[in-house]
Structures are given as C-alpha cells and as structure tokens.
Amino acid sequence: MVSFVQFSYELSLKHESEYFLSRPIYAHINSDAMRHNLERVRELVPGSKVWSVVKANAYGHGLASAFEGLKTTDGFALLDLAEAKLLRDMGWQGPILLLEGLFSQEDIFLVSDLHCDCVVHHIDQVDWLEALSEAKHGASSHLPKIYLKMNTGMNRLGFRPNEYKEIYHRLHASGYGISHMTHFANADYVDRSPSVDEQAEIFHQAIEGFEGDRSLANSAAVLWHHHMFFSDWVRPGIMLYGASPSGKYEDIEHAKLQAVMSLNSKIIGIQHLDAHESVGYGSRYKTDVPIRIGIVACGYADGYPRHAPDGTPVWIAGPNGLADGKVCRMAGQVSMDMITVDITDMPHVDVGTDVQLWGNFLPVDAVAQSAGTIGYELLCALAPRVPRTG
C-alpha cells in the first residue's frame, strides 16, 4: 500500500502544468486550421495583402497561438500597445496596425518604438501627429504610417467624406505616408442600407486622385462581396478562426473554413430521473418521461453562456470517440461549473465520456444561435481558468 507521504511526494514530482488539466475542460487551439483559413482568405482575394486581426487576445484564442498559426500573414491588426509589444517580443518584424490608433498623445512614443502603423479617426489624433512631425522636423522616415479612416455610413469612427480631403492634406503636408480605410456596416446583411456598393462608391469618390493603399474589407466582405471592389489590404477577423461573421454557421459552408478552437470536457456524473422530476437551479427543466442526465464539467465561469436555453446542442462522444458522436441537448439551467445534458439515447455514455461544447464537430455558431448570441462572443468570453492546448 502506498503511504500518504509517498503519494504526496510522487505528486510533487509531476510537472506543474498537469495540475491545470486535472479538471477535464480545456480548449484545443488548432494552428493548422488557422493557417488553412488564412490561405482561404488569400484564395478569395488573391490581389490583396492581409491584415490578420488578432484583437481581444486573438478572439479568445491566445496571441501566441495566433502568431504561430498566422505568421505568414502580411501584417497583424489589433487594438492594444501591450499586444503589439507581445508580438514584437515573439519575433514579429512585419507591420502592426493599431485599429483604433492613439488613445493619448503619450502613446506616440511607444508606437514609434514598436514601429506600428496607426488608424486615424478623430481630430485630436491629427493634432498629436502634426506635433510629432514638428518635433522630428519633418523626418518622414521616423514617422508612423497612417491609415486614414473615412466614415462612409457605419457612423462609428472616422471622418465624413466632406472632412476627409482637408485631413488628408494636413497629414500629407506633415510628411506622413497615408493609406485610406473604411468599414462596412452591412456586409453580412441583405437589403440593408448603406450597402457595400453604396459605401464603396462614397469611399472611392472621396479619395479620387489621392495616393495611398486602400483597405476596405472585413471578414464578411471577403466572404460575400470580394468581387464588388478591390482592396489593397483586407482585414479578416472572425473567419480566420473558422466562425461566421453573420453568426450563422451555414453561411460559411462554401468557404470551407476550419474551426480553430475546440472546447472539450467530459461527463463527470450521471443522474437517472423519473417522470415529473426536475434538474438544475430553478427546476427549469421538468421531465415528462424517465430520462438519463449527463453532468458536464463546464459552466458560465468557464465562459459558457448562462442564458443558453434547454435544447442547446452539445456534442457527446460515441462508443469510438468524439468522431463517432452526435448532438445531444442541454436540459436545465447552466450553473457556474456544470451543465446538464439529456443522454437518454446514448446508453454507452458514462463518467469520463468525452464532450465537445463547440469546435470541429459542433460549430460555435450553432451553439451561439441557440443561445441567442454570436460566435464572436463565445470565443472571446472563454474564461482564463480554461487551459488552452495546441
């Protein structure tokens, strides 16, 4: 018999990372899938360079994993200077675009040190950049490259077309190299105004005669409108991670994208319920007939949507593993650390059976649709306590 002291000593010899995996939930990040999705972008827009958008910690996938999967991109686009520094520390020497530009005048010094390109979308940023140029005495080789943003109907960030010419000339006179940028409001909707065509026409009319690259297309525009315009640089985000800009997984089947994140766990308990019994907080789910419930180690503290209703799909492994599995349906309120799933039709399921909450067998968009949200939110909301592997 092994003594408690000996058992404790043997545990102490295990690598620390093994403890992180003691609870069975984990997210597997497939860098090969990310590389595949980047190549699909290039196939859809063969004449364009690619800004790979890795904001929000690469949509919840982890910046290091995204760097590994997307290192053949032409540039990375993000929001935070801290993330830009991480990319530089990982060895990235190519372009980095700050999608919301400078948040304060003091940001300029780190932007210069990190050699970032900046989106410019409001007048304070223009003033700060003019002051920088004056301080450098017009030495353009030391100035950041500018992506001047035009508001063509999104009405979020950017200069209206009637302001754009003056701002362009101010920055150009200060020695900045300027590219032109806008963002589509309705690239993932049909028959909504302003349309992609309307915004693109406004944009091209306003920059007529100006030098500089153009950047127009997000994931939705790349997927569904790439034949309507030319963009020197495209800015795909969610499609790089294998999810749909529209939130409908069937909308991207033609693109042959691959899921990058698979959120996996296991069954940790089984309950047999008689007719007219209930399960979970609030007794929301009540049985009509006897059923079998599987308890899965995943809850809202892991980032799973607490508002997910009964019937939300969950992939349960078959006798030969996940690839042999099928969709079962959630039954009962999501709790902090667990969800409950009706496994009546899967008699082989027992404690330890593998489960996928979303991923290569169950699209994240299918789960999101059932929960009344979008795949972006589920991916970005994955909790720090969930280990990432891959």
Q: Active-site residue among 9, 256, 281, 326?
A: 281
Q: Active-site residue among 55, 249, 300, 376?
A: 55
Distance CA 361, CA 382 (A): 18
The two three-digit tokens of residue 45, written as one number = 């827009």
DSSP class of residue 150?
Answer: B
Q: Are 241 and 276 in contact (CB under 8 A)?
A: no
Contacts 24+ apart (CB under 8 A), 38-47: 38/69, 38/70, 38/72, 38/73, 38/240, 40/239, 40/255, 40/256, 40/257, 41/222, 41/234, 41/236, 41/239, 41/240, 44/222, 44/223, 44/226, 44/255, 45/217, 45/222, 45/226, 45/231, 45/234, 47/230
Q: Which residues contact 39 (CB under 8 A, 6 or more apart)?
A: none
Q: Kindly compute the dihedral angle of the four CA atoms of residues 168, 170, 173, 177, in this order, to the nearest 10 degrees.
A: -40
336 is in an annotated binding site: yes
User: Is 147 one of the annotated active-site residues of the chain?
Assistant: no
Distance CA 7, CA 5 (A): 5
Q: Convert 160-183 to b/e letters by CB count within 10 Å (16 or more is b).
A: ebeebeebbeebbebbbebbbbbb
170 is in an annotated binding site: no
Distance CA 198, CA 205 (A): 11
Distance CA 223, CA 248 (A): 13
User: Is 281 one of the annotated active-site residues of the chain?
Assistant: yes
Distance CA 58, CA 78 (A): 9
Omega before 194 within 30 of 0, i.e. cis: yes
Q: Are 330 and 310 in contact (CB under 8 A)?
A: yes
Question: Which residue ranges are tagged as binding site?
Answer: 156, 336
Write out the binding residues for substrate. 156, 336
Return the active site residues: 55, 281
